[in-house]
Amino acid sequence: MRDVSIAGVGSTSFGKLPDRGIVELATDACREALADSGIPHERVQALYLGNFVGERLADQGALAPIVARRLGLDGIPATKVEAACASGGIALRHGYLTVTAGIHDVVLVAGVEKMTDIPTGDVTAALATAGDEGLEMRTGLTFPGAFAMVMQAHMARYGTSREQIAAVSVKNHDNGAANPKAQFRKPTTIEEVVSSRFVAEPLRLFDCPPITDGAAAAVVCTAEIASQHTNRGVRILASGQGSGPVALSGMDDLTSFPATVRAASEAFGQARIAPGDVDVAEVHDCFTIAELVATEDLGLLPRGDGGHAAESGETAVNGRLPVNPSGGLIAKGHPVGASGVGQIYDLALQLRGEAANQVDGARIGLAHSMGGCGAAAAVHILAHD
């Protein structure tokens, strides 16, 4: 098993990008990552591209080989990875595994989604394909409805208050306001969150991420090659992946996603560190309640403490455990196939000391992406090289 580094990263802005198609978004992020790495594109031996609903929302399949050809990478293995909203995170895992195993020396990883050209109802229907169609989704359940039930369960079990959950949105919007690539750049308040319109009770509009266009990319290679081209490399200490029930009816506990727990256990075991060693985390806040559950499933906080930590400022940029300093999916935006690689982009900047919301002394970062309502999860642990 070879040491693996991220030599370079790139990202488009996240938001409504009407003048750029899905292929252009992906190639722009990839070119930025390659330029950032200093590694000639001719050395790239494979491409892994995360995408969830390109066929439905952008009328484009076969994205990986199209992007590879546009980049001048003709003939290399080019693979699309689909795992709902964890597509980008799991694409990174595939790239990491091939490098650490000695199959490839330099791999390009990307994630992309184009969502804003389509009516909201069509986007909602496309995203719902990450649920179990036969058991639940054909009854009309949507992911806001599913996470509304998760919120109710967390509030009932742990006494988490509506205001504590709203504090996640306030924190992430504050962080997004300082992130030049974020979709939402305006702070909000507890009062605005809890009085915004209902989406699925008790979930309100400001508990949800926006519909987003965007792409992100990373150059993954051996640590030796990275050191030859850059002094700003970031080491991948570990990569974990897990799966869990696709339907809520298959979950034993609505306040915990087994896929995240399994992926985290694998990653921490591989990295040989404890959750308390993490300096900064980017976690999958597809809704406010999802951030609280993620911090607890990852072992970053004790069960039931997520709400208190958000309310007290413990997870703020200047808190004990900064969570989603990028603004998270809620403020930065959620181009579903790209979000997992976008987290890697933000953590790489943090560990290089170059982030907009820089966490002082950040040396170990954790990225967590999740697909569906716990169907799949990926956890990566990065360190300053």
Q: Residue type for 297, please?
A: D
Residue 328, phi-psi category: left (phi > 0), alpha (psi -120 to 50), beta (remainder) = left
DSSP 47-65: EEEE-SSHHHHSS---HHH
Catalytic residue among 104, 173, 334, 368: 334
The rounded distance, in Å, linking the Cα atoms of 32 and 49 is 15
Distances (CA, A) of 198 to 144, 189, 205, 213: 10, 16, 6, 24
Query: In a 3-state reduction of DSSP, which class is residue 380?
Result: strand
* Pick from 352, 97, 360: nearest CA to 233: 352
Distances (CA, A) of 188 to 184, 193, 236, 312: 10, 7, 35, 17
Query: In a 3-state reduction of DSSP, which class is residue 79?
Result: strand
Q: Residue type for 153, please?
A: A
**Is residue 334 annotated as part of the catalytic site, yes or no?**
yes
Residues comprising the chain, all counted: 385
The rounded distance, in Å, linking the Cα atoms of 180 and 183 is 9
CB–CB of 216/338 below 8 Å? Answer: yes
Sign of the four-CA dihedral 262, 90, 301, 292? negative
Sign of the four-CA dihedral 223, 13, 189, 164? negative
The rounded distance, in Å, linking the Cα atoms of 65 and 31 is 15
Residue 89 is inside which H or E element, if any? helix 87-100
Catalytic residue among 30, 85, 221, 286: 85
Torsion of CA 13, 19, 23, 27, to 10 degrees: -50
Residues with catalytic function: 85, 334
